[in-house]
Structure 1
């Protein structure tokens, strides 16, 4: 119950509304008990004694009771719904804030489907436990107490007989609750799997169709869908059993009570009004007890969901600001890797890497795929923290700086272009909606994106769809470059920034990038080695270390790892000389003779 108590703490800001709702619940309970109490005078005074005054008075009282009950029922339902939805809103916001605080490594370990499932499915179950369950238990518990008072007042002996059934109902109530909690946990895991499967299939639909894998994906979805179906059916089986068991136990008690109560009426020990008032209260008891049983089931499911939610919210970020972290106020752009070691779990990726980029310099990181080039870039804005060694910006260890102030000084254009389902203008001016259109257009022009934007139906107000799906790969990349241009950072990170562009677009964007790089410290990872001819220094990564460093021409002349990688891209074929000339490798005598 620790989890549920923790969930209940979210109710504290809405204490006044809860108190008012509680008073209204008591009103509903008392009104229900009053109706059971009025059965005796209705039968005895109206139908047996034929009292005309009571014939007018009792229906009037019943009408007033129903009006009071209706008003209280509406008020408590609305107030509890307001409180419940407020709690869920607060919980979702807190979860979202927590997710934003987590490092990139957290999102590598947890799938998108898992996180979406916890934000949606798990929170929905908690919502039921925080609204309908609380409302039901409080209201129905007061109703049960009030009706029990009526039952004992009308016939103490019969009431004792009825109460024998209550302890018998407690055991199945607890047993069903434990099973529901277990099955609910399995159901949530299955919901997580199906959310992940849907997300992967929809995101990768082009690959699915390109490989004609519809049948394969359908079979994989059918498998997780069947698992989810089985989990739901086990849960529904327990829910379906709980009420019949309660009802059957109650039925045995009613049989004994009808026999004994009828015997008392037949022998003149009790009146018909007293017995039917007792019986009405007893039957009215069944519904609130049944609802308490259902509320208990809902609470058990909510606890399962709450455990998963709090497991997420209690996770510690891999990257945090130190208590004495300072803001990076100004930045000249010096970036230094000082004997950096870094690895993922048991795999060491970087092994003592030392790299320097002086203010305003452009350096490039090259190497074979998987050697750790992109990982090295991720360490600069602290997407990850180094295992040992240090990364210095303007002589300050990045771990001594606040993440926000550090990242404000860094512009990033990655190989995987990330855009939002919004207008082109808002994507370029990301996070700054008040920025003038003129500045947005200037950035787009510098990134050679303005011309294609102008041809779109709504220009800069065109909605580009999820991750810019309505644009081509090259267009998406130029929007991302315009976004980085507008940020105007002293440090620029380009991770395969032109990888998705055709030759014409690449030349245009490369010119824009060269302009952007002027006067800024730039760290570049480039697959096409011909695009980094003009950087100040190139570092070649091999086996987690820096194998070579130097200028483009220096590294080519050494005939080492860089030269090997370079010549692999421009290997001779039937048009070998043409390729070499395009690569800038044609000897001067041959180039001049052509």
Structure 2
């Protein structure tokens, strides 16, 4: 793991240093606040000495001066608090933007390998821990350090011998505080992991509400979420115990220091080597010193907790994306749509998902992928727009290696409709327009009409401006699928990738969609995954995928004549 210094040095270089103008303003406010802190004990010392010599002017001059100093210091503290808050919020916004951008652009395999709650937790909980640490770092390490320096200077001006006693006691507290900080870093890492798991569990519970109720799993889910909260409580309690130990340590040592100072100072006053004004000023400065010293003492714990969050953050950001555009991509001219798979293998984790896949789709041809569930059909679809890269072998588009093409240009030549098409929590019109962001209303309505979606859209409360809800949950499965198909129609791409696009449609709607699909696929290279074999019987070529391998290929009639896997699947569906 990286050291705390290394992690915060990177935080400074990547996110904080660029705000140098604001940092200068912050430092100016800090100088005012810290410098004026030293004025109080000096003035109190003057008051006590002035009383001894019966100076009447001091009775009103010193209180007035204290009020003026307090007003200036309060204004500086207000400005400091605003500037530090704004700086910390700007830094955390920058971090969150970079994390979101990285997750959007990173390999889909990496995103799918962890629960979604893990990433949500890093962008919210971890970033909040970092923000708190940044605020404490600026206020405590810089402002409080300046205040301590000023107050130590004041202590020395009153009596250097008493100051040596103070400087000898406080450092004794650092060793146990550092040890506690190390344990806090480990505990913070465990807490953030637990918060990610809790977020994922709650997301599953909310999303699976229908199934939970239908299967009578309410008690099971209550027990499962209760266990997660128990684990979260334990992780939070461990950190709370660590934090609770800091103040008592500082309190005891501070009490020892003050007791020793009062005893020694009293002896020196009685011996005549120290006047009462200096004692009063010294004790005032010593009491004022307690707060910044205590804040610095607890700072290490906060920094260690933030180090765990920073380590998780930078680990995520440093994860390289293996699917990316080359530095010098080959130009992708007018796409004809010829797709070739040459000895393609794909391994997910330790499992071989595809093995020695070879086929060619000529421009304008429709290729159907059929076979038992889990055979690897959707994986083939995912490899074409480079959502994943093959473990071995080569995929070409119009004779060009996909890995040598610009990703945006490659994906811009394709439209994808999957069986679980995602709708965003936006209007119907905008969800269709994601197919082509510059489309106008006429184009959007035409695409909806071609996808047999216009009628139900017009029946919605706000028509095309109806908000569909999270993941389209205000629409039926068939309605969501038709909007996704309209999105693909609007894209007007030369290559169509259809992963069971009619799986959620009823027979009547499917009939309308099939008519639209026949028009849509004319002149376009189309690769379609289908469970219902009747929907692909007119495909130019059919591959039967089973166990990650091509076990049969041909057209509908030739595959039936083979009396193999395809024929068995077709007969079972026809019988049903």
Which deviates more from structure 2 when the two are superposed, residues 328-337 or residues 463-472?
A: 328-337
Which deviates more from structure 2 when the two are superposed, residues 36-45 or residues 519-528?
A: 36-45
**Which of 43, 48, 65 matches 1:38?**
43
**Which of 544, 558, 561 matches 2:562?**
558
Does the Cα contact within 8 Å between 2:497 and 2:528 map onto a contact in 1?
yes
Q: Does 1:510 align with 2:514?
A: yes
Q: Does 1:528 align with 2:554?
A: no
**Which of 484, 491, 515 matches 2:488?**
484
- Matched residue of 1:570: which SS? helix
- Matched residue of 1:164: which SS? helix
- Matched residue of 2:416: which SS? strand
Residues 464-509 of structure 1, C-alpha deviations (whole Å, 9 max, x = no match): 1000000000000000000111111000000010001111111111
Q: Does 1:276 align with 2:280?
A: yes
What is the deviation of 1:393?
0.7
What is the deviation of 1:544?
2.5
Q: Does 1:285 align with 2:289?
A: yes
**Which of 154, 163, 168 matches 1:150?**
154
What is the deviation of 1:114?
0.8
Does the Cα contact within 8 Å between 1:44 and 1:272 map onto a contact in 2?
yes
Q: How does 1:326-475 map to 2 (within 5 A)?
A: 326-430=330-434, 435-475=439-479
What is the deviation of 1:558?
2.0
What is the deviation of 1:433?
5.4
Which deviates more from structure 2 when the two are superposed, residues 5-14 or residues 488-497?
A: 5-14
CA distance in 1, matches of 2:306, 2:346: 40
**Which of 184, 189, 192 matches 1:185?**
189
What is the deviation of 1:22?
0.9
Does the Cα contact within 8 Å between 1:340 and 1:389 map onto a contact in 2?
yes
- 1:70 is matched with which residue? 74
CA distance in 1, matches of 2:395, 2:436: 30
What is the deviation of 1:432?
5.3
- 2:23 is matched with which residue? 18
- 1:584 is matched with which residue? none
- Matched residue of 1:341: which SS? strand
**Which of 85, 92, 96 matches 2:96?**
92
Residues 315, 409 of structure 1: alpha-carbon distance in 2 compared, 3 angstrom cutoff: same
What are structure 2's unaligned runs of at least 5 residues?
A: none
- 2:86 is matched with which residue? 82
CA distance in 1, matches of 2:436, 2:54: 80
CA distance in 2, matches of 1:352, 1:179: 51
CA distance in 1, matches of 2:263, 2:548: 87
What is the deviation of 1:431?
7.1
Which deviates more from structure 2 when the two are superposed, residues 241-250 or residues 72-81?
A: 72-81
**Which of 227, 234, 249 matches 1:230?**
234
Does the Cα contact within 8 Å between 1:17 and 1:79 map onto a contact in 2?
yes
CA distance in 2, matches of 1:406, 1:376: 16
- 1:7 is matched with which residue? 11
Q: How does 1:306-317 map to 2 (within 5 A)?
A: 306-317=310-321
CA distance in 1, matches of 2:334, 2:62: 82
CA distance in 2, matches of 1:32, 1:491: 71
CA distance in 2, matches of 1:522, 1:74: 64
- Output the aligned Cα RMSD: 1.4
CA distance in 2, matches of 1:118, 1:537: 46
Does the Cα contact within 8 Å between 1:327 and 1:406 map onto a contact in 2?
no
Does the Cα contact within 8 Å between 1:243 and 1:290 map onto a contact in 2?
yes
CA distance in 2, matches of 1:431, 1:171: 61
Which deviates more from structure 2 when the two are superposed, residues 27-36 or residues 552-561?
A: 552-561
Q: How does 1:294-333 map to 2 (within 5 A)?
A: 294-333=298-337
Q: Does 1:254 align with 2:258?
A: yes
CA distance in 1, matches of 2:183, 2:561: 72
CA distance in 1, matches of 2:557, 2:436: 42
Does the Cα contact within 8 Å between 1:106 and 1:318 map onto a contact in 2?
no
CA distance in 1, matches of 2:84, 2:435: 36
Residues 556, 310 of structure 1: alpha-carbon distance in 2 compared, 3 angstrom cutoff: same
CA distance in 1, matches of 2:514, 2:156: 88
CA distance in 1, matches of 2:330, 2:66: 71
CA distance in 2, matches of 1:40, 1:510: 93
Q: Does 1:106 align with 2:122?
A: no
CA distance in 2, matches of 1:513, 1:390: 29
CA distance in 2, matches of 1:467, 1:248: 57
- Matched residue of 1:52: which SS? coil
Which deviates more from structure 2 when the two are superposed, residues 537-546 or residues 305-314?
A: 537-546
CA distance in 2, matches of 1:309, 1:566: 51
Residues 273-306 of structure 1, C-alpha deviations (whole Å, 9 max, x = no match): 1101000000000001111122222211111100
CA distance in 2, matches of 1:394, 1:130: 53
- So what's the TM-score if we normalise by structure 2? 0.97
